[in-house]
Amino acid sequence: MRPASTQHQRGAGKIEKTRIDGHLLGAKMFACVGIVPVVFYWFAFRAFGSSGFHWMCALAVEVFCPVFAYVHYFLNRRAKRLVWAGVSVCIGFLPVWLLLGSYWLFYFCWAPMPSTIRAVALPVCFAAAIGWAWLTWHIYGRETRRLGLTERLFRVESDRIVYPVESDTVIGTVEGPDASITVPYWLVSTVGPILIGYAMLSGRVFEKTGGPYGLFIILSAFSLPITCWLVSKIFVRFAYFQIYLPLKLERETGKKVIFDR
């Protein structure tokens, strides 16, 4: 049996597992998920007779996200800064958005269609997504003040501020706009198909050129509301509670905000 002091010295060099270790597993899973839209865009825009720029954009996102997760793992595993962990989560979920919610953006940005349709469709879709993000941010700010979440989520210590793992459960219970305001969500769900129908009818895109317009129309009708759902459930939630609030506390107190494990 080795002396206790020797065992202690061996264990002292080890770093305990933290939530960042889970980011690596998520990066691997989401990298596999992100391959699907890359392949789809490769085939789809070849059918449109377009260049490879479009699927290469998706591939760039697909490659960047796991690379960022690994860089974050090596640079932040010891420091345990909550801000960078929040950034890593938001970036890590981009391949999921590519798979579920990106089709309206690629379709209206780059599919061959009359410029007037593009000029109408893109502002409406962006207004819906950005408006939903703003509404979600506003509600999270209101709930933070009403429920005193800053005091509940963070523990102030002498030289640092700690974000306990139990705080994840707390922010998971904070309701976004889809739980308390149903009309805007269903309005977004309705605007997407109507706008896409306008693009198909007034542009007569099926008569102008070949390509998977029908498939893109169906996918776009679903992907715009899914984008809004991902914005409220993932991107804005983590951006507010794990990026904005920690940065605000660091500015106010001069102490770093870290997670405990």
Least confident of 80-89, 112-121, 159-168: 112-121
* pLDDT value of position 254: 94
Let me know if residue 102 belongs to a domain: yes
Q: Residue 193 burial (CB < 10 Å; 0-12/13-18/19+)?
A: middle
Let me know if residue 2 belongs to a domain: no
For residue 218, pLDDT over 90 is answered with no
How is residue 17 annotated by DSSP? -
Let me know if residue 201 belongs to a domain: yes
* pLDDT value of position 206: 53
Let me know if residue 175 belongs to a domain: yes
Let me know if residue 69 belongs to a domain: yes
SS3 156: strand
Residue 258: CA count within 13 A, CB half-sphere: 13
Please give the distance of CA 212 from its chain centroid, rounded to a whole number.
Answer: 27
Q: What's the whole-model pTM score?
A: 0.84
* pLDDT value of position 199: 55
Two tokens, residue 61: 């996102």
Cβ-Cβ contacts under 8 Å for 110 (sequence gap 6 or more): 45, 50, 53, 54
Pairing of strands 155-156, 257-259: unpaired
* pLDDT value of position 171: 92
| CA–CA distance, 205 with 132 (Å, rounded to integer) | 29
Q: What's the structural domain count of the chain?
A: 1
Average pLDDT value for residue range 112-118: 85
* pLDDT value of position 10: 45
7 compared with 80, residue with greater pLDDT: 80
Let me know if residue 255 belongs to a domain: yes
SS3 88: helix
Q: Residue 140's pLDDT band (boundaries 50, 70, 90)?
A: very high
Chain segment 149-191, per-residue pLDDT in tens: 999 999 999 999 999 989 999 998 888 776 544 545 565 556 6
What is the side-by-side order of every strand in the sheet holding 257-259?
A: 155-156, 161-163, 257-259
For residue 11, pLDDT over 90 is answered with no
Q: Among 79, 55, 227, which residue's Cα sits nearest to residue 88?
A: 79
* pLDDT value of position 22: 75
Rg (CA), the chain: 22
* pLDDT value of position 189: 57
- Number of Cβ atoms within 10 Å of the Cβ of 206: 13
SS3 14: coil
Q: What is the mean pLDDT of the chain?
A: 83
Q: Can you give the residue range of the structural domain that contains 158?
A: 19-259
Let me know if residue 237 belongs to a domain: yes
For residue 233, pLDDT over 70 is answered with yes
* pLDDT value of position 9: 43
Q: Residue 50's pLDDT band (boundaries 50, 70, 90)?
A: confident
Pairing of strands 161-163, 257-259: parallel
162 strand-pairing partners? 155, 258
22 compared with 129, residue with greater pLDDT: 129
Let me know if residue 61 belongs to a domain: yes
| CA–CA distance, 89 with 242 (Å, rounded to integer) | 9
* pLDDT value of position 195: 58
